[in-house]
Structure 1
C-alpha cells in the first residue's frame, strides 16, 4: 500500500480530506509514515482506543508540532497528574450550574445575531457567513464565557485573530502572534485578579478561585484562559460555517432542520457536529510498545487519530457521508474522547442547539452566494475564510 499517503499540510487534503480518509480506511487503516515514524488512524474503534489509552502521551505528542513557537503548558499538552489538576481547576466553568448562568446572556446573544441574518434575508442582501456572522458570534461567546466587558471587545478581536494560528502545528509563526498573546494575557491578568474581590459567574472567577486555593499558579491560569481563546473562537466559528456548508451541499436537509416535523434540536446538533469537524486530528506519542488495530507500534512513535475519518467510519455509522439530522446513535469524536475530551463541549453544544432552534424561526432558505467560498489555509482548525450566502 505504498501508493497511499496522507499529508495534512496538502491544501487539497485541507479542502476535502474525506476521499483520502476513505482510501486509507479501506486499504491501510493503521497507516505508517516511516520517515516521520508516525501512524495515522482512520477507524473509529482505533481512534477511540488511542484517545482513551494512558500509554499514549499528549505531552510527548507535541513533538509532532513543526513550528518554532511552543504552546504554553495547558490541558492540551500535559498528561496526568498535571493534566488532571489543570482540567479540574477549569471544569466548574462548564458544569450544568455554570451553563445555566451562561444561558442568561447566550440566549439573547444568539437571538440578536440570528435577527441580523433574518434582516439580511428580508432585504435580499448577500452575507459572508464566516466573516460577518460566525466568527463575530464566536468571539462574543468566548468573551462572554470569560466575562470580558464590552470595552475590551475591539482589542480582544485583534488578539484572538492574531493568536488563533497557535493551534496549527505546522503553521509558520503569525506576525505579531506572540506580542498579541502577551498583551492579551496582561489584560486577562487584570480581570483575573479583580475577580478575587468581585466574583462573577464567569471563567475568570473560576480561574481566580483556583489561584486563590493554590490549585493553579497565575501563569497556569493565564495559559488556561489563552487556551479558551485559541481553542474557542476559531473552532466555534468554523463549526457554525462547516455545518451550514454541509446543508448547502444537500438542500433537502434544510427542511429536516427547519420544516414541519423538524428533527429534534439535540439530534440535529450532534449530526452537524459530526459531519465536518474543525479539529480533524490530534496527536499522541507511544510511551511503550503496544498494538493498535493489529499493528505493532514502538515506544516513541507518533500516533495521530484522524477524528474526521473516525466520524465517517461505515463500521460505526450508517451511510456516514450523508448528513442525517435524525441520526439517533451518534458517537462522533469531534470533541475527542477520554481524559482529553474537549472541556468546552457542553458550551459548544449549547450554542449549537440555540442556533438550530433559532433557525426554525427563519422561513427563508439559504443558497450559495455569488462570491467564491473558500477555506482558510492551514491544517487546524479546518474552516472557511469565506462562505457567501443569499436567501430564496
Structure 2
C-alpha cells in the first residue's frame, strides 16, 4: 500500500488529525516527508525514545519552524547545559509547596467561574465555553500564578491573545504580536525588579531569585516569563474546551465526570489530557546517524514526534480512541517526556483536578449549542475559537 500523506497544516487534519495518525501508525509509523529531511513519528515507543534521547536536539529542532522572527532564548529552544540551568531557575515555582500556596486562591477562583456556568445553565442561557469561560479563566490563572495585580489583567489578556502565535511553528506573528510581546516584557520587567526587594509567593519572585543567584540573565528571566504566557494561557483554555468537546462526543461521559461518586479526579484529569491534547507535536533534530523504528535517520534530519498520535497507540493504551475516565494505566505524552517535559505540567494537573471537583454534583449537562463549534486554524495549540453549549 502507498504510504498515506500527512501535512499538519491540511484543513482536514486540523479539524481531526486522529484518522491520519491511525493510518500512519498502521502503514508508515516512521514517516518521511518526500523531498525533505524530515520524519513524523506516530508510535508511542518511538516518540518516547526521541524525547528522552540526548542525541536529539531541541535547539536545532526549532529550525524547523517556518517563521522570519527568531524566538528568544528559553527552555523551549535550548539543550543542556543551558536548558538545565534555565529549568532549574524556574522549577521552584512548580514544586508541591509552591502549588499548595497557589491552590489557596486557585480553588475559589475555579469554583466561582464554574458557578457562573451553573447560573447560565439554570437560566437556560447558551454559553460559549471558549470565549465566556475557558479563555478568560486561563488568563486569570496565569496572571495569578505570575503575580500580576488586578490592574494589569485587561492589558495582560490582550497581550496573551497577541503573542499566542509564537507557539505555532507555521505562523509568523504579525507586527502587533511583536509589539505586544515588547509591551508585556516591559511591564514584566517592572514586576521582576520589584520582587528582587519585595518577594511574594509567585512566579515573578522565583525568576527574580534566579537572576539574583546568577542562574538567569535579565533577558532570560524575561523570556522565561514570556514562555509561561505563550505556553500557558491558550493551551490551558484549550485543555478545557477539548476535554468538554470530547465528552460531548461520547454520551454519558459528562454524567460520569459530574457524578459525586464518579471516577477519581486524578484519573479523569489524566484521561482528558490524553484524549485530545492542545500540544499535538514537538520537534527535534538528530545529532548523529541512528535508527528509529527500523528506519535510518541521518545526522541533521528533523524528527517530529506526534504526541497526539502516540496518545492513541493501541500498543500502549487499551481501546485508545475511547474516552475512559477511569483509565488506570495512562502513560500519555501530552506533556512530552524526558528533559524537555513540560515544566508547567503540575499546575495544569492541579487546575484540571480543581475543575473536576467544582463540577462534581452539577445537575446540568452540556449539549452542543445552536451555532456549532469552531476550531482555530492554527496547528499548535489545538483548540476551539468557539464552543457554544446549551444545558439540559
Q: Indicate the TM-score class for this superposition, using the shorter chain for normalisation.
A: over 0.9
TM-score by length of 1: 0.99
4+ residue runs over 3 A deviation: none
Aligned to 2:186: 186
User: What's the CA shift for 1:163?
Assistant: 0.2
User: What's the CA shift for 1:3?
Assistant: 4.4
1:135 & 1:376 partners in 2: Cα distance?
Answer: 13
Aligned to 1:98: 98
Aligned to 2:236: 236
1:145 & 1:70 partners in 2: Cα distance?
Answer: 27
Aligned to 2:375: 375
Aligned to 1:78: 78
Unaligned runs of 5+ in 1: none
2:231 & 2:340 partners in 1: Cα distance?
Answer: 13
User: What's the CA shift for 1:261?
Assistant: 2.8
1:171 & 1:307 partners in 2: Cα distance?
Answer: 20
Instruction: Determine if the alignment matches structure 1 residue 289 to structure 2 residue 281.
Output: no
Cα deviation, 1:140-181, whole Å, max 9, x if unaligned, reads: 110011000000000001100000000001013234011100
Aligned to 2:343: 343
* SS at structure 2 position matched to 1:196: helix
Aligned to 1:223: 223
Aligned to 1:37: 37
TM-score by length of 2: 0.99
Cα deviation, 1:343-390, whole Å, max 9, x if unaligned, reads: 000000000000011111311111001112010011100000000001
Instruction: Determine if the alignment matches structure 1 residue 18 to structure 2 residue 18.
Output: yes
Instruction: Determine if the alignment matches structure 1 residue 27 to structure 2 residue 27.
Output: yes
Cα deviation, 1:181-219, whole Å, max 9, x if unaligned, reads: 000000000000100111000000000001111110000
2:175 & 2:55 partners in 1: Cα distance?
Answer: 37
1:92 & 1:140 partners in 2: Cα distance?
Answer: 21
Aligned to 2:195: 195
1:59 & 1:175 partners in 2: Cα distance?
Answer: 25
Aligned to 2:357: 357
State the superposition RMSD in angstroms: 0.8
Q: Is the 8 A contact 2:3 2:24 kept in 1?
A: no
2:5 & 2:338 partners in 1: Cα distance?
Answer: 28
User: What's the CA shift for 1:82?
Assistant: 0.2
Cα 1:111–1:25 change in 2 (3 A) is same
Aligned to 2:206: 206
Instruction: Determine if the alignment matches structure 1 residue 119 to structure 2 residue 141.
Output: no
Q: Is the 8 A contact 2:260 2:360 kept in 1?
A: no
Aligned to 2:274: 274
Aligned to 2:258: 258
2:129 & 2:119 partners in 1: Cα distance?
Answer: 14
1:288 & 1:245 partners in 2: Cα distance?
Answer: 41
Cα deviation, 1:95-148, whole Å, max 9, x if unaligned, reads: 001000110110111011001001101100000000010000100110011000
Aligned to 1:108: 108
Segment drifting more, 90-99 vs 260-269: 260-269
User: What's the CA shift for 1:63?
Assistant: 1.0
User: What's the CA shift for 1:262?
Assistant: 0.4
1:366 & 1:174 partners in 2: Cα distance?
Answer: 36
User: What's the CA shift for 1:34?
Assistant: 3.1
User: What's the CA shift for 1:255?
Assistant: 1.9
Segment drifting more, 62-71 vs 379-388: 62-71
Aligned to 2:49: 49
* SS at structure 2 position matched to 1:120: helix
2:310 & 2:248 partners in 1: Cα distance?
Answer: 23
2:148 & 2:174 partners in 1: Cα distance?
Answer: 24
2:89 & 2:237 partners in 1: Cα distance?
Answer: 26
* SS at structure 1 position matched to 2:197: coil
Q: Is the 8 A contact 2:259 2:361 kept in 1?
A: no
User: What's the CA shift for 1:2?
Assistant: 4.3
User: What's the CA shift for 1:294?
Assistant: 1.0
1:194 & 1:53 partners in 2: Cα distance?
Answer: 40
User: What's the CA shift for 1:5?
Assistant: 1.2
Cα deviation, 1:276-331, whole Å, max 9, x if unaligned, reads: 00000000000100111111100000000000000000000000000000100000
Aligned to 1:58: 58
